[in-house]
Amino acid sequence: MELTNVGVIKSILGRHGFSFTKSLGQNFLTNPSVAPKMAKEGGAGPGMAVLEIGPGLGVLTKELAKAADQVLAVELDKKLEPVLKETLGDFDNVEVVYGDILKLDLEKLINEKFANKDFVVCANLPYYITSPIIMLLLESSLPFKSLTLMVQREAADRICAPVGSRQAGALTVAVAYYAKAVKLFNVSRGSFLPQPKVDSCVIRLDLLEKPAIEVEDEAGFFRMVRAAFGQRRKTALNAISAGLDLPKEQVAEALKRAELAPNIRAEKLDMEQLGRLFKNLQI
Ligand code: SAM
């Protein structure tokens, strides 16, 4: 069964009386070359387990199941259950769990299903939750090796931008703290049914052995980062002092002690400078 063929998709969906829910980001892959490439570059292989988020009709799930030992897929839309039963019926190494990836007890689920197996995450993400999913996974202590994700092209540009460049934002810093982000390949909007209004890109976040910089209080560091990038037109001094409700003198003093210009903007700060600023902020 060629799951990327529009005729086949329409026939399966028609048979199960399924209609797309736009608000769940349901754009299903119709370009046959994308899922095999994603599975390969995402590290699905012998001895590996894979967590997939949002299997949809199972296009990527099938490729992951062919390559890896075990696949656990989390799908929010219970209406897809009869569809996935049919499309994944031939695979005995796939399990689909129905629920919201942002609300499930993921640690419990992963411990239960993967025990101590090495695993990777691979997903054509619903775009409305790209950032929360990335942050949830990076901030968890789940032992995955990498996240291979299809995201909007603009999100890929931001996530993979160097920290200290114009495109960098708070998410860029958070990703660079935990992982090395690489753009793998672009995917045009014509590769999906229904066709979205934007193009996509597959990226991979390879987890670092230890965070890129040493900070004593991670939560505090990220609060400062969010404040610094929260008001992009302001200087880091004004943005941090407004965002964290700190006296300007305290932030100015921290910039000085960190040997940074008083009027510097957050987007000019690299990872090491952000770490130094936080250390000197003493919050
Ligand atoms: N993997 C399929 C493909 O590549 O054709 C479908 C990808 S589609 C862009 C996103 C999928 O994520 C949909 O099946 C949607 O129902 C599911 N989804 C949306 N929000 C979710 C959530 N919070 N938790 C789990 N799955 C979700």
List helix spans (H) across 57-105: 59-67, 81-87
CATH second-level architecture of 218-281? Orthogonal Bundle (1.10)
**What local confidence, expressed as pLDDT, does residue 232 receive?**
80
**What local confidence, expressed as pLDDT, does residue 116 receive?**
80
Whole-number Å distance, alpha carbon 85 to ligand 1 midpoint, is 16
DSSP-derived 3-state class of residue 53? strand
**What local confidence, expressed as pLDDT, does residue 220 receive?**
96
The mean pLDDT values, 10 residues at a time, for the chain of 283 residues are 94 94 95 98 96 98 98 98 97 98 96 92 94 95 96 97 96 98 98 96 97 96 96 93 97 98 97 98 83
Kindly list the domain boundaries of the chain, sorted by start residue. Answer: 6-207, 218-281
What values do phi and psi take at 38, rounded to 5? -65, -45
CA trace torsion 145, 277, 168, 51 (10° rounding) = 20
**What local confidence, expressed as pLDDT, does residue 283 receive?**
75
**What local confidence, expressed as pLDDT, does residue 60 receive?**
98
Task: Tell the CATH topology of 6-207.
Answer: Rossmann fold (3.40.50)
14 Cβ contact list (under 8 Å, min separation 6): none
Q: Is 30 in the pocket of ligand 1 (CB under 6 A)?
A: no
Q: Is 202 in the pocket of ligand 1 (CB under 6 A)?
A: no
**What local confidence, expressed as pLDDT, does residue 46 receive?**
95
Whole-number Å distance, alpha carbon 71 to ligand 1 midpoint, is 15
**What local confidence, expressed as pLDDT, does residue 1 receive?**
79
